[in-house]
């Protein structure tokens, strides 16, 4: 498989009144792979690829699709609990609005 490399865009001569285009071309042509970027974002970008292991894990399981990955039972049950709590809260609010306040004399 051939990997495509990126090249820096050369700065194009522009008229003096077109500062915006010259600025954009200058910013795009700068080198963006500095040591600062690689140190700051290295933990987010330079990670191992676990797609094949996760694909095998998901395809070998007979559980429902939303329970196949690790920790998914925790995530799904938390979501269902919060959804049910929100629905019950909405129903309580709607019925209390329909019922209204008791009359006091």
pLDDT in the model for residue 84: 98
Distant-in-sequence, close-in-space partners of 54: CB < 8 Å, separation ≥ 6: 69
Instruction: At 79, give phi and psi (nearest 5°).
Output: -60, -45
pLDDT in the model for residue 41: 79
pLDDT in the model for residue 104: 81
Report yes or no: 21 and 14 within 8 Å, Cβ to Cβ. Answer: yes
Structure token digits, residue 92: 């309580």
Which 8-state DSSP code applies to residue 16?
A: T
pLDDT tens-digit profile, the chain (105 residues): 566 655 555 555 555 555 555 555 554 544 555 555 556 777 788 888 999 999 998 999 999 998 998 899 999 999 999 999 999 999 999 999 999 988 887
> Is the Cα dihedral 37, 43, 44, 45 positive or negative?
positive
């Amino acid at each position: 498989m051939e990997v495509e490399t990126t090249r820096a865009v050369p700065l194009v001569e522009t008229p003096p009144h077109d500062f915006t285009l010259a600025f954009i071309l200058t910013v795009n042509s700068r080198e963006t792979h500095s040591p600062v970027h690689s140190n700051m974002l290295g933990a987010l970008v330079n990670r191992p690829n676990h797609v094949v292991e996760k694909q095998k894990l998901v395809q070998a399981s007979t559980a429902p699709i939303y329970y196949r990955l690790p920790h998914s039972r925790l995530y799904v049950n938390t979501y269902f609990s919060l959804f049910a709590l929100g629905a019950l809260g909405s129903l309580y609010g709607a019925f209390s609005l329909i019922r209204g306040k008791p009359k006091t004399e």
